């Protein structure tokens, strides 16, 4: 058994002992999923334990050897000089406004207008859907997709999950429901507004976990984590096309028609690229693992290409057109802070769920080096994350 297997089992066991946090292991699970996609660890047990965000970052099923599937074309690698880092900390930073995107605090959903809603359970992702919500739950080691009505009552609870993809105009949403007892799964696309039941679906192979990542004008971008991981685009017409050379995807910009994808994975880290719908790269890098693109497509998130531990210790804002580093935030050398999740609040502000010195907080960063506290701080174990961002385009 690898050290990662042992760490996953130990932290899962610890999470069961934490009162009041039914999804306490999710912080570990999401961070571990990033590691999974970078290193592609071929272990079904670990895959079930770490199935969540991205985050999408793991050892390939080739036991960590460099993948033979590289990025297609000849991208221009960025000429990068890392920025002088801003110290990423929650200590002494000014209190800013609450996030303008919804986020979850346990069972409480905090909305941008200041209203709150109490949900039936604590969820790991949520998005509006037909006067209610679609949410991801993590129960007894399994992910599911839960639909809530306008009164926050559970309508359905089906196996599947790991986030929702929204179109740039928020007119469409995509989600995945897994098959049971050897049956195929389905990737869905539907209208989040109104009460129409009209929706499209794409059948997926039994036992393969699918994660919708985002929308381009060519369709929904999704990744699969089976024995041959790949990234595809579908228009839900019964067919899907492969994004050549991509092992995983972390972000999509419908505005510029570009996708952040992982192209290689080794025991020393990972390589990534920003590509078009066919897989032709604009640029590639092995200095960062790439994350979400900003809503206007100007920036892309960059973090540690190796991605060990509970979360990243630093984050960079990169120019999405050429990969050069615009800003970097990093914890102090002796600091305890780690980043559990990141989301773009708007075109220029990046939100991070961070843990530092026994407390969880949401902090706001921008490409100019600004840093604000965007939520109250909550004391909790590092494996008992309370804050989760709602789905964003």
pLDDT classification of 76: cutoffs 50, 70, 90: low
Task: Kindly give, in sequence order, each residue whose CB lies less than 8 Å from that of residue 321, ignoring residues fewer than 6 positions away.
Answer: 282, 298
Do 129 and 173 contact (CB within 8 A), yes or no?
yes
**CA gap 217, 109 in Å, rounded:** 31
Where do we find the tokens 């221009």?
76
The pLDDT of 220-236, averaged and rounded, is 93
- pLDDT for 139 equals 84
pLDDT in tens, 347-382: 999 999 999 999 999 999 999 999 999 999 999 999
pLDDT of 8 higher than 50: no
Least confident of 40-49, 116-125, 302-311, 319-328: 40-49
Residues in the chain: 393
- pLDDT for 51 equals 32
Coil vs helix vs strand at 29: helix
pLDDT in tens, 113-160: 999 999 999 999 999 999 999 999 998 889 999 999 999 999 999 999
Cα(first)–Cα(last) distance of the chain, in Å?
38
**CA gap 258, 40 in Å, rounded:** 24
**CA gap 174, 160 in Å, rounded:** 12
Burial 97-133, CB ≥16 within 10 A → b, else e: ebbebbbbbbeebbeeeeeeeebebbbbbbbbbbebb
CA angle 312, 112, 356 (to 5 degrees): 25
- C-alpha distances in Å from residue 32, one per residue of 7, 40, 49, 172, 272: 10, 11, 8, 29, 18
pTM: 0.81
Domains of the chain: 3-389 (2.130.10)
């Amino acid at each position: 058994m690898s050290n990662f297997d042992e760490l996953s089992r130990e932290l899962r066991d610890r999470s069961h002992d934490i009162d009041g946090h039914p999804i306490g292991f999710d912080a570990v699970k999401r961070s571990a999923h990033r590691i999974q996609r970078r290193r592609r660890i071929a272990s079904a047990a670990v895959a079930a334990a770490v199935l969540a965000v991205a985050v999408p970052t793991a050892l390939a099923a080739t036991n960590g050897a460099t993948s033979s599937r590289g990025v297609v074309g000849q991208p221009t690698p960025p000429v990068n000089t890392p920025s002088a880092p801003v110290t990423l900390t929650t200590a002494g930073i000014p209190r800013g406004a609450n996030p303008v995107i919804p986020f979850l605090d346990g069972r409480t959903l905090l909305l941008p207008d200041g209203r709150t809603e109490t949900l039936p359970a604590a969820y790991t992702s949520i998005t509006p859907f037909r006067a209610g919500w679609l949410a991801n739950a993590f129960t007894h080691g399994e992910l599911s997709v839960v639909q809530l009505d306008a009164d926050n009552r559970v309508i359905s609870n089906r196996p599947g999950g790991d986030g929702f993809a929204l179109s740039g105009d928020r007119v469409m949403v995509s989600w995945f429901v897994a098959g049971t007892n050897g049956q195929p799964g389905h990737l869905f696309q539907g209208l989040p507004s109104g009460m129409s039941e009209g929706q499209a679906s794409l059948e997926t192979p039994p036992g393969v976990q699918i994660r919708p990542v985002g929308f381009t004008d060519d369709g929904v971008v999704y990744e699969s984590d089976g024995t041959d991981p790949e990234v595809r685009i579908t228009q839900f017409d019964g067919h899907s096309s492969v994004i050549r050379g991509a092992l995983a995807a972390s972000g999509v910009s419908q505005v510029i028609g570009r996708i952040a994808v992982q192209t290689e994975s080794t025991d020393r880290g990972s390589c990534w690229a920003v590509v078009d719908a066919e897989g032709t790269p604009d640029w590639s890098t092995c200095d960062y693992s790439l994350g979400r693109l900003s809503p206007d497509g100007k920036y892309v998130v960059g973090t540690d290409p190796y991605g060990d531990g509970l979360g990243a210790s630093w984050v960079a804002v990169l120019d999405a057109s050429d990969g050069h580093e615009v800003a970097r935030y990093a914890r102090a050398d002796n600091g305890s802070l780690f980043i559990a999740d990141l989301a773009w609040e708007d075109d220029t502000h990046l939100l991070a769920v961070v843990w530092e010195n026994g407390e969880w907080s949401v902090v706001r960063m921008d490409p100019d080096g600004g840093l604000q506290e965007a939520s109250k701080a909550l004391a909790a174990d590092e494996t008992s994350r309370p804050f989760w961002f709602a789905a964003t385009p």
